[in-house]
Amino acid sequence: MVAIIAFIVVGVLAVLGLLPGFVGDDSSVSGLSRLVSEGGFLPNGPGAVVAAVLVTMFSFMGTEIVTIAAAESGDPARGIGRATRSVIWRIAVFYLASILLVVAIVPWNDPRLPEVGSYQAALEALGVPSAKLIVDVVVLVAVASCLNSALYTASRMLFSLGRRGQAPDLVNRTTGQGVPRFAVLGSTLVGFVAVIANYAFPEEVFAALLATSGAIALLVYLVIAVSQLRMRRVLERDGVAMPVRMWGYPVLTWAVIVVIPVVLVYMATREGSRFELGMTALIAAGVVGVGVLLTRRRARAAVR
């Protein structure tokens, strides 16, 4: 957070032309002209924007973690509300503002972008010393934080599956403080296996993980939207109190349900996204099949 805030402050000063003598060889970093130069505002058309949105959706998959953590707090309703609002303004400030500054400082067709990344290219354009080291340290800290939250989420999901009878009973065991120890250890083990596999086959493993998780985010949010649309009607009909309510219901819910299939169809028309979409469909079919099998097994067991 501190690094992003520092980058935004420096970037704003540079765009406003308030950093004389600080910029490097490229002294034209001030102003917003690069937002419309080099071919216009959408040089590759709106399709390129949609393709970028797919990557962005994948990058922000997991923001729902805040609700899982808030649910374990002393006041879940208040915690979920605060966490949700925090995610919204953090994305608006730290992501949108920083990317806007990057685009304003570095031309979109700069050859350094695919080589060193957007933030390092922007820092180098500003003449910031040791830009690569700064970016590497920030990325390392961010990855460690992401790993920590991913282990938390994976262990809680595994624990939840165990309580529903969809995972071994071992993952249901908790410590005296309520921590699902074996679920955490199992999630950690899978993480180590993924790291070792990526070290042995770096290109293949990363490409496979990216292909099998990108569009899944869309399916997850689609299922959440459909479930919310259906379950809220049931809860309202039964008079159940709902301390946490979604804004703009049901308009925003229907918007999500309509937009996500449109994005999936668009992915099918792009050659670079077809493999990702196919892997997603394969995994989704496998998960649905396992779910149906377990449901039928429990139904037969209940009849007996």
Backbone angles phi, psi at 94, to 5 degrees: -75, -30
Q: Report d(CA 146, CA 140) in Å as an integer.
A: 10
**Is residue 209 domain-shared with residue 164, that is, in the same domain?**
no
What's the pLDDT score for residue 26? 47
Whether 2 and 117 map to the same domain: the answer is yes
Residue with tokens 């790993």: 147
Look at residues 101, 51, 6, 63 and name the one whose alpha carbon lies nearest to residue 272: 51
* CB contact at 8 A, 276 and 210: yes
Give the C-alpha separation, 279 to 301, whole Å: 33
Listed residues 98, 129, 160: the one ending a domain: 129
In a domain? residue 77: yes
Residues 192 and 283 in one domain: no
Question: What integer pLDDT is reported at residue 273 of this predicted model?
Answer: 72
Residues 50 and 100 in one domain: yes
Does residue 232 share a domain with residue 221? yes
**208 shares its domain with 278:** yes
Q: Do the domain assignments include residue 98?
A: yes
User: Which residue, among 235, 71, 272, 73, has the nearest Cα to 157 in the 3D structure?
Assistant: 71
Q: Judge if 58 and 25 occupy the same domain.
A: yes
Last residue of a domain, one of 153, 177, 198: 198
138 in a structural domain: no
Report the distance separating Cα 249 and Cα 129, nearest Å: 49
**Average predicted confidence (pLDDT) for the chain:** 81
Asked, for residue 135, whether it belongs to a domain, the answer is: no
Helix (H, G, I), strand (E, B) or coil at 263: helix
The continuous run of DSSP H or E covering 191 comes out as helix 181-200
- pTM, to two decimals: 0.70
Residue 134 included in any domain: no
Q: Can you tell me whether residue 29 is helix, strand or coil? A: coil
- For residues 248 and 278, state if they share a domain: yes
Cβ pair 288, 279 in contact under 8 A: no
Per-residue pLDDT tens for 41-55? 888 877 777 777 766
Same domain, 167 and 240: no
Which residue from 90, 54, 84 is spatially nearest to 69, judged by alpha carbons? 84
Angle (CA) 113-116-120 rounded to 5° is 90
Kindly give the parts of the chain with pLDDT less than 70: 20-29, 54-55, 57-62, 64, 71, 210-214, 272, 304
Alpha-carbon distances, residue 36 vs 40, 108, 112, 209 (angstroms) = 4, 10, 19, 35
**Same structural domain for residues 217 and 172?**
no
Task: Kindly state whether residue 210 falls inside one of the protein's structural domains.
Answer: yes
Q: What pLDDT is attached to residue 254?
A: 93
Domain boundary among 129, 152, 183: 129
Q: Which of 183, 208, 180 is nearest to 194 (CA)?
A: 208
| 108: in domain | yes
- Is there a single domain that holds both residue 48 and residue 161? no
Using alpha carbons, select from 202, 200, 219 the residue that is nearest to residue 279. Answer: 219
Give 92's contacts (C-beta < 8 A, 6+ positions apart): none
Q: What per-residue confidence (pLDDT) applies to 20?
A: 62
Looking at residue 256, its amino acid is V
**pLDDT of the residue at 185:** 92
Cβ 213 vs Cβ 61: under 8 Å: yes
Q: CA 1, CA 157: separation in Å to the nearest integer?
A: 27
Does 112 lie in the same domain as 36? yes
User: Into how many domains does the chain fold?
Assistant: 3
Domain residue limits at 264: 201-304
Residue with tokens 């406003």: 16
